[in-house]
């Protein structure tokens, strides 16, 4: 059992790749669901203008029921420091009609990583989480912490994973019926932290049942059931044998259901307008094809002198 604080980074990464907890929307705070994209089926998931809208409902850790909708949009592409990237916007609509947007620039290199899901946080390049008084979105570079740069183990290595395929099932949604592959995923991470006189061991466990269909763009799923638990055990330093059992200190459950999807019709809110096109179109606009030269006029034959 490691006493390093490095697992805290693993917990943060795990939270990024999972659906936001219901309480998040209720408190009207930011939800960035870029980790919900399907990174396992290649770059075909990145089609600028494609979007999928979901309704999340569940029971928050406080015990209060909550419901909100989130639209995930492939908002554009950008070449950033020589690296091809794409923008993902999350538009969260909370009760009362307020829409809270967020955006993340993700490297296309994520599609080359066989462990993209647990390492998704490593492929963030920029984020937009706030707007200036003038209405201009503020872009922030995503920087890795010094402790993460010094780690010798792979990011996500401390996460535990278990995946089971449960067969197929038909899911009925407001958008229609979909025949889906049902996959159950259990994952978790732990950390141990020490203070002056005590030691605290914490586990975060996540369970998901996902109904996967390639008919839905961006995320490739029609429904997901999720459960999150935080468990903790504390003991006086040096007296680990006296520690009691793990206690559940927080638990939330919920359902994410497809509402609608499309390839156009949803406007980006945070990404600059000139980036709301595929990279190929942006490059073509910068380098228009050269105009063909006019053919040289042939000399006209004059009268023949004798």
Question: How far from 199 is each of 1, 50, 142, 236, 237, CA to CA, in Å?
Answer: 12, 48, 32, 6, 6
Average pLDDT of the residues in 87-95 = 92
Residue 140: domain span: 7-280
H helices of the chain, where?
Answer: 7-16, 22-26, 146-150, 279-286
Task: Give the strands of the sheet with 99-107, arranged side by side.
Answer: 137-141, 124-131, 99-107, 83-93, 65-80, 51-59, 247-262, 221-236, 198-212, 176-194, 160-173
Query: Total domain count for the chain?
Result: 1
Could you read off the pLDDT of 117-160 as tens digits, one per residue?
778 888 999 999 888 877 788 899 988 766 555 555 555 455 67
Is residue 185 within 8 A of residue 207, CB to CB? The reply is yes
pLDDT reading at 48 higher than 90: yes
Dig out the tokens for 65 from the structure: 């029921």
Cα 75 from chain centre:
13
* Residue-level pLDDT at 215: 96
Structure-token pair, residue 1: 């059992």
Per-residue burial over 171-186, b if 16 or more Cβ lie within 10 Å, else e, is: bebebeebebbbbebe
CB of 33 closer than 8 Å to CB of 224: no
Examine residue 243 and state whether it is found in any structural domain, yes or no.
yes
Question: Residue 20 has what pLDDT?
Answer: 39
**Does 213 fall in a domain?**
yes
198 in Cβ contact with 234 (< 8 Å): yes
Could you tell me the pTM of the whole model? Answer: 0.78
304 domain residue, yes or no: no
pLDDT for 101 beyond 50 = yes
In this prediction, residue 66 carries a pLDDT of: 80
Helix (H, G, I), strand (E, B) or coil at 274: helix
Residues 104, 125: Cα–Cα separation, whole Å: 7
């Amino acid at each position: 059992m490691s006493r390093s604080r490095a697992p805290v980074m693993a917990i943060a990464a795990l939270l990024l790749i999972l659906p936001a907890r219901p309480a998040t929307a209720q408190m009207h705070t930011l939800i960035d669901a870029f980790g919900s994209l399907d990174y396992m089926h290649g770059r075909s998931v990145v089609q600028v203008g494609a979007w999928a809208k979901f309704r999340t409902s569940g029971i928050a850790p406080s015990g209060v029921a909550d419901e909100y909708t989130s639209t995930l949009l492939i908002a554009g592409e950008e070449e950033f420091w020589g690296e091809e990237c794409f923008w993902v916007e999350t538009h969260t609509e909370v009760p009362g009609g307020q829409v809270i947007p967020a955006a993340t620039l993700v490297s296309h290199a994520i599609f080359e990583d066989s462990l993209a899901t647990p390492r998704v946080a490593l492929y963030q390049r920029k984020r937009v989480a706030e707007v200036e008084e003038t209405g201009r979105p503020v872009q922030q570079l995503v920087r890795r912490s010094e402790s993460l740069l010094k780690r010798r183990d792979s990011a996500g290595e401390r996460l535990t994973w278990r995946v089971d395929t449960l067969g197929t099932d038909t899911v009925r949604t407001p958008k229609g019926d979909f025949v889906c592959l049902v996959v159950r995923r259990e994952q978790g991470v732990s950390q141990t932290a020490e203070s002056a006189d005590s030691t605290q061991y914490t586990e975060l466990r996540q369970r998901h049942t996902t109904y996967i269909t390639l008919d839905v763009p961006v995320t490739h799923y029609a429904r997901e059931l999720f459960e999150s638990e935080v468990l903790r055990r504390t003991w006086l330093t040096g007296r680990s044998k006296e520690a009691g059992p793990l206690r559940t200190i927080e638990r939330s459950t919920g359902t994410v259901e497809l509402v609608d999807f499309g390839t156009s019709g949803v406007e980006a809110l945070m990404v600059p307008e000139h980036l709301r096109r595929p990279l190929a179109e942006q490059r073509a606009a910068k380098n228009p094809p050269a105009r063909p030269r006019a053919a040289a006029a042939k000399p006209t034959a004059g009268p023949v002198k004798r």
